[in-house]
Amino acid sequence: MELMVLLNALVTRLLFVLHSLIGVWRVTAVKKEPKYWLLALLNLLLCLETGLTLKFKQGRGYKWFSPAIFLYLICIVPSLWLLEIHHGTQYCGNEPGAVQVNVSNQDFNQSRESSHGSEGTDHHIIQTAKVFVNQLSTICETVWTLALHQTFLLLLVVGRWLLPIGVEITRDQLSQLLLMFVGTAADILEFASETLDIEDVRKNYALINAILAVWTWSMLQFPLDLAVQHIGCKPSASARRIPSLLLCRYSAELWNIGVSLFIQDGPFFIVRSILMGHFRIFNQMLVFFTAKNILVVTLQLYRLAVITLDFRTTVLQKSRKGEVCCCPCEPYEARAHATGRQENEMKEFVAPPKEESQAPSEDH
């Protein structure tokens, strides 16, 4: 096992555990109930995954799916749910930073004086750490929640970058995936912060749960790598049917379209439409991002139509030449053993309606 691979695998998962523990600590501080520390037990799943990955995969990732990212979502999402539901109970001043700096300096001076009196370096470090933790606790709840959201999404991108890649994914595909994740994370953060900050939304408990459910659903795309990888084709007869060939050739593009329509922009558009249509909530940013979601969904449907027409044209050209349209990822030997049944299926798929209508008249 390479040392760098081992180091990246351990450091990334350690960052995931530390961030989730900070979320659990914040929930415990806000709720003022020690029982919420039980949420920290979810990190045992991540520890178990780390051991299994190091043993069976030598620290490297899996194909199409990242268990570490998925388990990190399981560890941190419940804490963010509780913080959002408990949102807004702590007052935030207009300039909290200046107040915190002044108080922090005073407390640090007091801790320094106490450490001089005791003449202990260890005591001084402990006092400084206590002061630092106390000052973190004085930051208002809304700032804490937003900071956890921001660091959560940033850590997803950085963590996916640091995690060792498997043999099935190339560095070029990883770079494409990271660029997609950056744009996706920005849209998700905007959706959560923009909708949940509306005053009328905060008064509706059911609406908060619905928005958080859509937000959680949108996070499920991060453990998956299908948007940059082709599924590949097996040289079996069942894998050569028209839908399978379409999925084989355009698997990455189709997955990207599916994510946008069913996981991100589609659900976001539905939520924003309900806010404006049913609850009569309007503001400039809400209208703008609703229009943006409409545009993205329309463009994705247009892209889907272009892919389908391009594939149909390719199959038509191949059938006229007497060839069989196979996935480019198949070897040449597999393409050469296409059966007559497969040719008939493709001819039926691309046969013009006019020729079909003329066939009965020739019999008569």
* Each residue's pLDDT tens digit, 287-328: 999 999 999 999 999 999 999 998 888 888 877 766 555 554
- Assess contact for 83 and 26: CB atoms under 8 A: yes
- Assess contact for 315 and 346: CB atoms under 8 A: yes
d(CA 232, CA 344): 23
What is the value of pTM for the model shown? 0.77
Q: What are the phi and psi torsion angles at 240 (to 5°)?
A: -105, 10
The residues that bridge with 175 in the sheet, in sequence order, are none
User: What is the pLDDT, as a whole number, of residue 92?
Assistant: 59
Residue 64: how many CB atoms within 10 A of its CB?
A: 15
What distances in angstroms separate CA 297 from CA 122, 149, 277, 328, one per listed residue?
59, 25, 19, 29
Q: What are the phi and psi torsion angles at 207 (to 5°)?
A: -70, -35
Look up residue 224 and give its DSSP letter.
Answer: B
User: What is the pLDDT, as a whole number, of residue 67?
Assistant: 92
The residues that bridge with 224 in the sheet, in sequence order, are 65
Domain ranges in the chain? 1-89+140-225, 230-322
Helix (H, G, I), strand (E, B) or coil at 140: coil
User: What is the pLDDT, as a whole number, of residue 108?
Assistant: 47
Residues of the chain with confidence (pLDDT) below 50: 90, 94-106, 108, 111, 115, 117-119, 237-239, 328-340, 355-364
For the four alpha carbons of 224, 227, 228 and 233, in that order, the dihedral sign comes to positive
d(CA 97, CA 139): 9
265 CB burial (10 A radius; 0-12, 13-18, 19+)? buried
288 CB burial (10 A radius; 0-12, 13-18, 19+)? exposed
Q: What are the phi and psi torsion angles at 224 (to 5°)?
A: -100, 145
Q: How many residues does the chain have?
A: 364
DSSP secondary structure, 226-290, as one string = GGGS-----SSGGGGSHHHHHHHHTHHHHHHHHHHHHTSHHHHHHHHHHHHHTS----HHHHHHH
d(CA 348, CA 357): 13
Burial 227-260 (b: 16+ CB within 10 A, else e): bbbbbebeeeeebbebebbbbbbbbbbbbbbbbb
Q: Is 58 left (phi over 0), alpha (psi -120 to 50) or beta?
A: left
d(CA 168, CA 14): 25
Helix (H, G, I), strand (E, B) or coil at 65: strand
- Assess contact for 312 and 350: CB atoms under 8 A: yes
User: What is the pLDDT, as a whole number, of residue 102?
Assistant: 43
The residues that bridge with 65 in the sheet, in sequence order, are 224
- Name the residue type at position 131: V
